[in-house]
Amino acid sequence: ERKKERKKERKKERDTEEKERERGEREREEKEREKRNKEKREEKERV
């Protein structure tokens, strides 16, 4: 019975870690995209 509980806890922790990692990657991609868009805008303004 206790083994089942521990197994559930571990799975929950793993799922949480995965979600955190995915969110971090998405945020990093967002920042990269914003940076590129900003550079493109500045490039257009210079021309």
1-47 per-position pLDDT tens digit? 889 999 999 999 999 999 999 999 999 999 999 999 999 999 999 87
pTM: 0.60
Please give the distance of CA 28 from its chain centroid, rounded to a whole number.
7
What string of DSSP letters covers 1-47?
A: -HHHHHHHHHHHHHHHHHHHHHHHHHHHHHHHHHHHHHHHHHHHHH-
- What domain range is 33 assigned to? 1-47
Q: What per-residue confidence (pLDDT) applies to 18?
A: 98
Q: How many independent structural domains does the chain possess?
A: 1
